[in-house]
């Protein structure tokens, strides 16, 4: 594990931010933190008092077992209380807080000409219509609904409609392949699929409906088709009729339902379904190290409290803010910090469907100027990409509205941190480097902008209710300055409850290695000031542009090709993506390694998983380095990929000659 040193200059919170901040200084942070650890029930009950409960929480707030040796792992927050997510993020704002006329979302299209403002009242109306539509299509409490939509308002309408009627949404990022969509639909046995005709991503037109149809066809082939109806938003038709005609969206009247037609026919009123605090809210798939994605399950009340409080404190939400998170709702960042956290706070957000470099490389800065964005949250990979274009595209726009900047998804390198802080934040805006995971539901290690002195590259300290610790290989806790496995000793309300349909995998993945702790899979260092520095992953996962990919899943896609006998995928540093995929493939006898094959393999991975998983390097590996027991030595492959000649101890390798051969076939440049 290599992490940057702690001898950094500290950046102190700006005084003007401290005046009205929710957590105005470090002492207040410590005081609240102590309370959240020493009296968690009192702490979270106070947070809960902001929300509407049909039946209020009583008794013990958090119940759990984190120790596999003592029985099943479970976490429960306010079980027995009843509430509704949608009611809390919409009706409560409209009716109790009088925010009906406030803009919930400024939707900004792929082209600057397409935009729309949606108020809280309008949002509530659309969500109720969608709820009634889903009900009409047969969706009932507890049913799973698959959503395969781009970043358009209908995505938010659908997810909130599910929560209103007690259905469980399973959103699949609209860049995933038909195969990945099918796998996810089957795993959670969804009864309805909601998708769109198509969408533009930059210059590229994506025919989503066709991919969705392929996915449903694959589900049928696998003989476990559960989806009976497909609700289709005619997004392109409303944006660009010419393209829509050319696209010729495939249509099956027996299955497909047109969004625009049904939404007009149903009522704008819909009673929310009152759910238990521990009823499921959504499933979201994340890569697993065995290759099969894991259906992370979150429940209603804990997730509401946690995303709402983290959003409020980490972005120090104020009523006149315009907040923009550039993530896609298909990932957890979008779930927690585009939809639920901001809406629970009555915030005004930008919802953006485009990409950072279309129609020009100043697009992000243009949008910030257009809406006078005050809080901006993006990924290090986007910062690194935009840094390459220099100052000109930034200086064309007025960024003086910005007050707080955030990053998420991967470690931020100091160069990117400084550029973000100086060029975008004009040295005025704290940068909150938020560490968290799909599984954690919300931020777990993060600065608070008015309270925490920053060290570039450190996610700093735990959020309220979170108790991190660092263990060595033997599971012993390390005190003070230390480096090892990052784990958490107790749950907070927003942590996942299980993996959908697979409690055993849930326990073995996160709780078995070190009984008594939730294991994050990350290496981490604590410096002498107590700051946490996230290092790389310790499992076989690779973080490409903030997207977690499983090496096993990519390897399975490669070996799926008839020419490939064996494949091993490792990470290699990449200046924009952070890490990228470097693949070693051993071909079957008499197959030739050439350009055509490399292209076919890349296409295969794209088709199986999606464009985000496209390998950068594919190298011919006549043999792979293995231990005598036949285990692939990934450490050695990582070093070959990086052209590191000093390979250290190779005494466990069955045939050390393999190494030289692999160095001879190394890819210098991307394949």
Q: Rounded to the nearest whole angstrom, what is the least distance from the CB of residue 407 to ligand WTA in the complex?
A: 6
The one-character DSSP state at 87 is I
Q: Does 540 bind ligand WTA (CB under 6 A)?
A: no
Cα–Cα separations (whole angstroms), residue 487 to 174, 466, 478, 510, 547: 32, 10, 11, 9, 21
- Choosing from 65, 290, 437, 614, the residue that interacts with ligand WTA (CB under 6 A) is 437
- In the complex with ligand WTA, which residue's Cβ is closer, 286 or 557? 286
Task: Report the C-alpha gap between 161 and 220 in whole angstroms.
Answer: 27
- In the complex with ligand WTA, which residue's Cβ is closer, 406 or 615? 406
Stretch near ligand WTA under the rule CB under 6 A, chosen from 130-138, 356-364, 430-438, 466-474: 430-438
Q: Does 409 bind ligand WTA (CB under 6 A)?
A: yes
DSSP letter for each residue of 103-141: EEEEEE-SSTT-EEEEEHHHHHHHHHHHHHHHHHTT--T
Counting residues that bind ligand WTA (by CB under 6 A) gives 20
Write down the H helix ranges in 322-481: 332-334, 341-344, 363-371, 380-387, 392-395, 414-419
Mention every residue, 6+ apart, whose C-beta is less than 8 A from residue 530: 461
Q: Does 456 bind ligand WTA (CB under 6 A)?
A: no
Q: Does 108 bind ligand WTA (CB under 6 A)?
A: no
- In the complex with ligand WTA, which residue's Cβ is closer, 239 or 286? 286
User: Can you say whether the dihedral through the CA atoms of 195, 199, 201, 205 is positive or negative?
Assistant: positive
Provide the mask over 217-256, with x wherever binding to ligand WTA is found by CB under 6 A and - wherever it is not: ----------------------------------------
Yes or no: say if 378 and 406 are a contact pair by the CB < 8 Å rule. Answer: yes
Stretch near ligand WTA under the rule CB under 6 A, chosen from 147-155, 203-211, 408-416, 632-640: 408-416
Q: Report the DSSP pairing between strands 498-499 and 229-233.
A: unpaired
Q: Does 159 bind ligand WTA (CB under 6 A)?
A: no
- In the complex with ligand WTA, which residue's Cβ is closer, 325 or 534? 534
DSSP, collapsed to helix, strand or coil, labels residue 472 as coil
DSSP letter for each residue of 565-616: EEEEEEEEEETTTEEEEEEEEEEPTT----HHHHHHHHHHHHHHT-GGG--S
Yes or no: say if 379 and 407 are a contact pair by the CB < 8 Å rule. Answer: yes
Stretch near ligand WTA under the rule CB under 6 A, chosen from 49-57, 119-127, 239-247, 326-334: 326-334
Longest Cα separation, the chain = 73
Stretch near ligand WTA under the rule CB under 6 A, chosen from 119-127, 176-184, 331-339, 648-656: 331-339
- In the complex with ligand WTA, which residue's Cβ is closer, 105 or 331? 331
Measure CA 512 to chain center.
24
CA trace torsion 492, 501, 143, 215 (10° rounding): 120
Cα–Cα separations (whole angstroms), residue 671 to 217, 234, 566, 592, 609: 33, 38, 18, 16, 19
Stretch near ligand WTA under the rule CB under 6 A, chosen from 65-73, 78-86, 202-210, 325-333: 325-333
- Choosing from 433, 527, 579, 616, the residue that interacts with ligand WTA (CB under 6 A) is 433
Q: Does 531 bind ligand WTA (CB under 6 A)?
A: no
Cα–Cα separations (whole angstroms), residue 653 to 323, 583, 639, 644: 53, 20, 15, 17
- In the complex with ligand WTA, which residue's Cβ is closer, 446 or 639? 446
The helix (run of H) or strand (run of E) holding residue 313 is helix 300-314
- In the complex with ligand WTA, which residue's Cβ is closer, 259 or 419? 419
Stretch near ligand WTA under the rule CB under 6 A, chosen from 20-28, 431-439, 484-492, 655-663: 431-439
Q: Does 333 bind ligand WTA (CB under 6 A)?
A: yes
Task: Report the C-alpha gap between 58 and 451 in whole angstroms.
Answer: 32
Q: Rounded to the nearest whole angstrom, what is the least distance from the CB of residue 444 to ligand WTA in the complex?
A: 9
Q: Rounded to the nearest whole angstrom, what is the least distance from the CB of residue 113 to ligand WTA in the complex?
A: 32
Stretch near ligand WTA under the rule CB under 6 A, chosen from 128-136, 138-146, 432-440, 508-516: 432-440
Task: Report the C-alpha gap between 354 and 152 in whole angstroms.
Answer: 10
Q: Does 408 bind ligand WTA (CB under 6 A)?
A: yes
- Choosing from 286, 310, 348, 619, the residue that interacts with ligand WTA (CB under 6 A) is 286
Angle in degrees, CA 231, 163, 350, rounded to 5? 80
- Choosing from 332, 373, 385, 486, the residue that interacts with ligand WTA (CB under 6 A) is 332
Stretch near ligand WTA under the rule CB under 6 A, chosen from 47-55, 136-144, 406-414, 500-508: 406-414
Measure CA 401 to chain center.
27
Q: Which of residues 461-520 bind ligand WTA (CB under 6 A)?
A: none
- In the complex with ligand WTA, which residue's Cβ is closer, 210 or 437? 437
- Choosing from 343, 451, 534, 636, the residue that interacts with ligand WTA (CB under 6 A) is 534
Measure CA 327 to chain center.
8
- In the complex with ligand WTA, which residue's Cβ is closer, 433 or 616? 433
Q: Does 579 bind ligand WTA (CB under 6 A)?
A: no
Mention every residue, 6+ apart, whose C-beta is less than 8 A from residue 646: none
Stretch near ligand WTA under the rule CB under 6 A, chosen from 104-112, 329-337, 564-572, 639-647: 329-337
- The strand pairing partners of 212, in sequence order, are none
- Choosing from 374, 434, 545, 557, the residue that interacts with ligand WTA (CB under 6 A) is 434
Q: Does 423 bind ligand WTA (CB under 6 A)?
A: no
- In the complex with ligand WTA, which residue's Cβ is closer, 107 or 331? 331
Q: Does 438 bind ligand WTA (CB under 6 A)?
A: yes
DSSP letter for each residue of 442-467: S-SB---TTTPPB-TT--BSBPTT--
- In the complex with ligand WTA, which residue's Cβ is closer, 233 or 329? 329
Q: Does 436 bind ligand WTA (CB under 6 A)?
A: yes
Mention every residue, 6+ apart, whose C-beta is less than 8 A from residue 1: 483, 523, 525, 535, 536
Q: Which residue is nearest to ligand WTA (CB)?
A: 438
Q: Rounded to the nearest whole angstrom, what is the least distance from the CB of residue 654 to ligand WTA in the complex?
A: 32
Q: Does 424 bind ligand WTA (CB under 6 A)?
A: no
Q: Which of residues 547-566 bind ligand WTA (CB under 6 A)?
A: 548
Q: Rounded to the nearest whole angstrom, what is the least distance from the CB of residue 459 to ligand WTA in the complex?
A: 5
Task: Report the C-alpha gap between 272 and 143 in whole angstroms.
Answer: 15
Q: Helix, strand, coil % (nearest 5) of the chain?
A: 35, 25, 40
Task: Report the C-alpha gap between 194 and 156 in whole angstroms.
Answer: 12
Q: Rounded to the nearest whole angstrom, what is the least distance from the CB of residue 538 to ligand WTA in the complex?
A: 10
Provide the binding-site residues for ligand WTA, judged by CB under 6 A: 286, 331-333, 408-411, 433-438, 459, 522, 534, 537, 543, 548
């Amino acid at each position: 594990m290599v992490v940057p040193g702690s001898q950094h200059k500290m950046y102190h919170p700006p005084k003007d931010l401290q005046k009205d901040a929710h957590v105005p200084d470090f002492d207040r942070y410590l005081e609240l933190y102590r309370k959240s650890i020493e009296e968690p029930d009192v702490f979270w009950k106070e947070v809960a008092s902001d929300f509407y409960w049909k039946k209020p929480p009583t008794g013990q707030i958090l119940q759990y077992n984190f120790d596999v040796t003592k029985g099943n792992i479970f976490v429960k927050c306010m079980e027995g209380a009843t509430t509704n997510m949608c009611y809390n993020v919409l009706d409560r704002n409209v009716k109790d807080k009088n925010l009906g006329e406030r803009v919930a979302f400024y939707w900004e299209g792929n082209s600057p000409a397409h935009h729309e403002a949606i108020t809280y009242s309008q949002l509530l109306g659309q969500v109720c219509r969608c709820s009634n539509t889903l009900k009409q299509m047969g969706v009932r409490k507890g049913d799973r609904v698959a959503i395969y939509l781009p970043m358009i308002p209908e995505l938010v309408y659908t997810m909130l409609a599910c929560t209103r009627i007690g259905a469980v949404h399973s959103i699949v990022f609209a860049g995933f392949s038909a195969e990945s969509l099918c796998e996810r639909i089957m795993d959670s046995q969804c009864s309805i699929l909601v998708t769109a005709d198509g969408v533009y991503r930059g210059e590229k037109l994506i025919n989503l409906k066709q991919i969705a149809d392929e996915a449903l066809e694959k589900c049928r082939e696998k003989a476990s088709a559960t989806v009976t109806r497909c609700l289709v938003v005619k997004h392109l038709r409303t944006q660009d009729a010419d393209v829509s005609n050319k696209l010729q969206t495939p249509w099956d009247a027996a299955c497909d339902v047109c969004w625009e037609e049904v939404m007009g026919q149903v009522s704008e009123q819909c009673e929310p379904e009152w759910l238990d605090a521990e009823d499921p809210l959504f499933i979201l798939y994340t890569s697993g190290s065995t290759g099969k994605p894991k259906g992370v399950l979150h429940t209603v009340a804990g997730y509401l409290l946690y995303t709402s409080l983290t959003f409020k404190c980490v972005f120090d939400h104020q009523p006149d803010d315009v907040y923009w998170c550039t993530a896609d709702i298909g990932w957890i960042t979008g779930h927690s910090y585009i939809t639920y956290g901001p809406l629970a706070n009555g915030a005004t957000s930008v919802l953006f469907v485009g990409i950072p470099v279309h129609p020009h490389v100043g697009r992000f800065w243009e949008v910030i100027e257009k809406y006078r964005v005050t809080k901006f949250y993006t990924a290090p990979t986007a910062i690194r990409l935009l840094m390459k274009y220099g100052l000109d595209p930034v200086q064309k726009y007025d960024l003086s509205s910005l007050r707080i900047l955030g990053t998420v998804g991967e470690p931020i390198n100091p160069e990117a941190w400084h550029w973000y802080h100086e060029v975008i934040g004009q040295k005025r805006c704290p940068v909150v480097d938020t560490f968290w995971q799909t599984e954690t539901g919300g931020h777990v290690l993060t600065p608070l902008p008015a309270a925490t002195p920053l060290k570039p590259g450190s996610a700093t300290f735990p959020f309220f209710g979170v108790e991190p610790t660092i263990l060595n290989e033997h599971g012993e806790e390390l005190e003070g300055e230390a480096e090892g496995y990052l784990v958490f000793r107790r749950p907070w309300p927003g942590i996942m409850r299980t993996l959908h349909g697979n409690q055993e995998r849930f326990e073995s993945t996160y709780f078995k290695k070190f009984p008594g702790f939730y294991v994050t899979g990350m290496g981490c260092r604590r410096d002498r000031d107590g700051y946490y520095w996230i290092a790389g992953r310790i499992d076989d996962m690779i973080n490409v542009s903030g997207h977690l990919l499983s090496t096993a899943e990519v390897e399975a896609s490669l070996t799926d090709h008839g020419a490939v006998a064996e494949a091993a995928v490792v990470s290699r540093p990449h200046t924009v993506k952070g890490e990228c995929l470097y693949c070693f493939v051993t071909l079957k006898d008499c197959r030739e390694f050439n350009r055509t094959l490399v292209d076919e393999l890349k296409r295969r991975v794209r088709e199986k998983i999606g464009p985000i998983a496209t390998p950068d390097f594919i190298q011919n590996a006549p043999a792979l380095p293995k231990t005598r027991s036949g285990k692939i030595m990934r450490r050695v492959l990582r070093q070959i990929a990086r052209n590191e000649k000093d390979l250290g101890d190779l005494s466990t390798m069955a045939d050390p000659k393999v190494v030289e051969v692999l160095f001879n076939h190394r890819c210098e440049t991307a394949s």
